[in-house]
Chain A
Amino acid sequence: MSDANKEALEPITGIESPVYLDYNFTAGQATARFLTKVKEGKLVGQRCPSCRNVYIPPRGACAACGVATNEEVELPHKATVQSFTIVYIPIPGNPIKPPYVIANLVVDGANISFLHLLSECKNEDVRIGMRVEAKWKDPSEWGFAMENIQYFAPIDEPDVPAEEIGRLKDA
Chain B
Amino acid sequence: MRDIAIVSFVQSDCVRDAGARNEVELIMPVVRKVLDNVGLESAQNVDFTCSGSCDYLQGAAFAFVLGVDALGAVPPIKESHVEMDAAWALYEAVLKIQSGQAESALLYGFGKSSPGELPIVLSQQLDPYYLAPLWLDTVSSAALQARAMLDSGEITEREMAEVVARSRKNAKSNPHAQLKGDVSADELLNEPTYLSPLRKHDCCPVSDGACAMVIATVEQAKKWGKPYAVLKGIDHRIESAHFGARDLTKSPSTEAAAKAAGVANGPIDIAEIYAPFSHQEIILKKALGLGDDTVINPSGGVLAGNLMMASGLSRIGEVAMRIINGECKRGVAHATSGHALQQNLVAVLEGA
Contact = CB atoms under 8 A, between A and B. Distances in A.
Interface of A: 15, 17, 19, 21-32, 59-68
A2 B277 CA distance: 50
Contacts of A65: 42, 72, 74
Contacts of A27: 20, 22
Q: Which of the listed residues B70, B121, B128 has the most CB atoms from chain A within 10 Å of its own CB?
A: B70
Interface in B131-145: 132-133
A30 B25 contact: yes
Q: Which of A17, A19, A32, A60 has the most CB of B within 10 A?
A: A60
Contacts of B73: 63-64, 66
Contacts of B192: none
Given A60-B22, A66-B28, A19 B70 contact: no
A120 to B, nearest CB: 33
Nearest to B132: A17
Interface of B: 19-22, 24-25, 28, 31, 42-43, 56, 58-60, 66, 68-74, 114-117, 120-121, 124, 128-129, 132-133
A28 B74 contact: no
Contacts of A17: 128-129, 132-133
B134 to A, nearest CB: 10
Given A28-B24, A60-B69, A19 B115 contact: no
Given A23-B115, A60-B28, A29 B22 contact: yes
A100 B227 CA distance: 61
Contact of A31 (B19, B22, B72): B22
Contact of B28 (A22, A32, A61): A61
Contacts of A15: 129, 133
Closest 6 CB pairs of A and B: A66-B72, A28-B22, A23-B59, A64-B74, A17-B133, A63-B69
25 contacts: A15-B133, A17-B128, A19-B124, A21-B56, A21-B120, A22-B116, A26-B19, A27-B20, A29-B19, A29-B22, A30-B25, A59-B66, A59-B69, A60-B24, A60-B25, A61-B25, A62-B72, A63-B72, A63-B73, A64-B73, A65-B72, A66-B43, A66-B71, A66-B72, A68-B28
B22 A59 contact: yes
Contacts, number: 88
Nearest to A23: B59
B20 A32 contact: yes
Contacts of B42: 65-66
A22 B72 CA distance: 32
B132 A23 contact: no
Nearest to B42: A66
B72 A29 contact: no
A67 B31 CA distance: 10
A105 to B, nearest CB: 21
A28 B25 contact: yes
A31 B20 CA distance: 9
Contacts of A23: 58-59, 115-116
Contacts of B74: 63-65
Contacts of A59: 22, 24, 66, 69
Contacts of B19: 26, 29
Most buried by B among A15, A19, A62, A66: A66
Nearest to B68: A63
A21 B115 CA distance: 10
A67 B41 CA distance: 11
Contact of B117 (A22, A25, A29, A66): A22
